[in-house]
């Protein structure tokens, strides 16, 4: 009887051990974490920038990389060149578009990858391991100068990217900027976060709390301060992360240089709409400070580059400034029109000519009535082009805070094709963010400037519609 009891107890112990081993194995599988890295990317000349996502396969034998450019273009590559180095792995990606080699790291560690080639251009990547405990938020952006000197001017796009290593609250920041053909990596910190509904607003500053220096360039310290606004809802379609602020460079060679920085995308739910116009009441009868029905308010909108001139508050209600309405374009006389397209959709239109709008511009003077200072702007509009002629013409966007010096936004440059077609007015949806310091009660000026670009003969017709300017 004792033997039977002993065998019975042994069987129970064996079953219990077997069950425990199965649970442990299952738990190990469930806890297996696929390595993921996120980061920021720029070419050395600042011409291209974007965010990077790298994921290793579960067996650590292959990896994929997705580079999302600020333009929206996505470049995806895969590799089986994964080498196990013990605590880390070396991953090599190689394609005609993008090539780099990265060594993996631990949570909170910033990985600097300088062996990067993008479409033949020298480039750089900052990345970090992305986990639930330390989620990484990469943000792309640009900077401009207010006080310009030496190698810093607004003639080229300059990168100012940020990488946060926590979902919200206090966080360290890695930055990536370009100047000329050099990439500078820097540090910053986020704190003083305040929740306002679905948005959270945080202070961001260069340095690490012990110092305010973000990085050193040409022997001079670079410092910056700003605001980070992000959507605090669960991950979904409302995800956004907007950044803006000011920077300063104490250059020992050219003196103090300073300006503004802004992210490519802004959280629009936190923005104030400061101007909106769809031109539905415009009938092409000109401009006046106390506009009659069908006219545009010259205290806000003016045009130049035609016979005569128009200042803010002036009047032009005949000739080139008031060519009236036309359905679907195809006109032969240069000037300002109210083009009726798509059966009742009115746009602010122009027919360029040899002495009309080549060059010329539509200017808008918009007052900051929000009651607070503004530094980050988001402009969107519909650009309609009737490419019915064989000459290429442009309509480009720029902005100013003094109506004297205008800063172009190169991503909004548009040139019509040199070869004509019969498609009629075709819509091009345009949008971009930019930074400018506009105090309460001051004005921001925006300009749509046209000119000849290539070819000969008659010119295409252009139209602007659904202008929306938002800011914070």
Q: Where are the domains of the chain?
A: 36-268, 274-471
- Residue carrying structure tokens 């679907």: 328
CA contacts within 13 A on the Cβ side of 35: 25
**Percent residues over pLDDT 70 in the chain:** 93
Q: Counting every residue, how long is the chain? A: 472
Per-residue confidence at 155, pLDDT binned at 50, 70, 90? confident
Query: Could you give phi then psi for residue 2, rounded to 5 degrees?
Result: -65, -35
Per-residue confidence at 32, pLDDT binned at 50, 70, 90? very low
pLDDT of residue 92: 97
pLDDT of residue 154: 80
Check: CB of residue 438 under 8 Å from CB of residue 444: yes
What is the rounded distance in angstroms from the CA atom of residue 141 to the CA atom of residue 163? 11
Residue 182 parent element (H or E)? strand 182-196
274-471: CATH class: mainly beta
pLDDT of residue 28: 40
pLDDT of residue 223: 98
What is the rounded distance in angstroms from the CA atom of residue 263 to the CA atom of residue 260? 11
Per-residue confidence at 343, pLDDT binned at 50, 70, 90? confident
What is the rounded distance in angstroms from the CA atom of residue 390 to the CA atom of residue 387? 8
Q: What is the pTM of this model?
A: 0.77
Q: Over 60: is that where the pLDDT of 3 sits?
A: no
Tens-place pLDDT, residues 271-328: 899 999 999 999 999 999 999 999 999 999 999 999 999 999 999 999 999 999 999 9
Mean pLDDT within 396-412: 93
């Amino acid at each position: 009887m004792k033997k039977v009891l002993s065998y019975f107890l042994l069987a129970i112990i064996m079953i219990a051990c077997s069950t425990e081993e199965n649970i442990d194995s299952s738990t190990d599988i469930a806890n297996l974490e696929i390595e993921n890295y996120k980061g920021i990317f720029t070419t050395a000349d600042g011409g291209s920038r974007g965010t990077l996502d790298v994921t290793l396969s579960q067996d650590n034998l292959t990896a994929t990389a997705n580079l999302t450019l600020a333009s929206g273009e996505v470049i995806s590559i895969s590799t089986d060149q994964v080498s196990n180095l013990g605590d880390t792995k070396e991953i090599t990606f190689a394609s005609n578009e993008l090539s780099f080699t990265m060594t993996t790291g631990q949570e909170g560690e910033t990985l600097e990858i300088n062996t990067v080639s993008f479409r033949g251009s020298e480039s750089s990547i900052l990345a970090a391991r992305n986990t639930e405990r330390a989620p990484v938020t990469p943000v792309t952006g640009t900077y401009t100068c207010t006080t310009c000197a030496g190698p810093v001017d607004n003639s080229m796009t300059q990168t100012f990217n940020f990488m946060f290593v926590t979902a919200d609250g206090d966080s360290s920041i890695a930055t990536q900027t370009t100047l000329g053909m050099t990439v500078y990596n820097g540090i910053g910190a986020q704190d003083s976060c305040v929740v306002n509904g679905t948005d959270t607003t945080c202070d961001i500053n260069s340095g690490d709390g012990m110092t305010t220096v973000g990085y050193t360039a040409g022997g001079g310290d670079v410092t910056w301060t700003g605001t980070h606004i992000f959507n605090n809802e669960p991950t979904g379609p409302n995800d956004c992360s907007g950044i803006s602020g000011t920077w300063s460079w104490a250059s020992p060679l050219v003196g103090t240089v300073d300006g503004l920085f802004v992210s490519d995308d802004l959280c629009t739910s936190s923005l104030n709409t400061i101007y909106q116009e769809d031109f539905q009441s415009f009938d092409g009868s000109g401009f006046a400070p106390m506009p009659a029905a069908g006219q545009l308010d010259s205290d806000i909108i003016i045009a130049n580059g035609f016979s005569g001139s128009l200042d803010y508050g002036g009047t032009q209600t005949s000739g080139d400034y008031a060519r009236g309405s036309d359905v679907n374009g195809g006109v032969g006389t240069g000037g300002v029109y109210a083009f009726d397209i798509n059966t009742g959709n009115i746009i602010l239109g122009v027919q360029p000519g040899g002495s009309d709008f080549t060059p010329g511009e539509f200017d808008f003077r918009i007052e900051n009535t929000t009651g607070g200072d503004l530094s980050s702007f988001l402009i969107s509009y519909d650009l309609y082009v009737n490419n019915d002629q064989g000459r290429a013409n442009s309509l480009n966007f720029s902005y100013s805070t003094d109506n004297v010096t205008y800063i172009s936004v190169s991503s909004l440059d548009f040139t019509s094709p040199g070869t004509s077609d019969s498609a009629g007015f075709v819509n091009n949806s345009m949008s971009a963010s930019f930074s400018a310091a506009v105090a309460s009660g001051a004005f921001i000026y925006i300009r749509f400037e046209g000119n000849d670009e290539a070819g000969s003969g008659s010119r295409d017709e252009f139209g602007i519609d659904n202008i929306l300017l938002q800011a914070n």
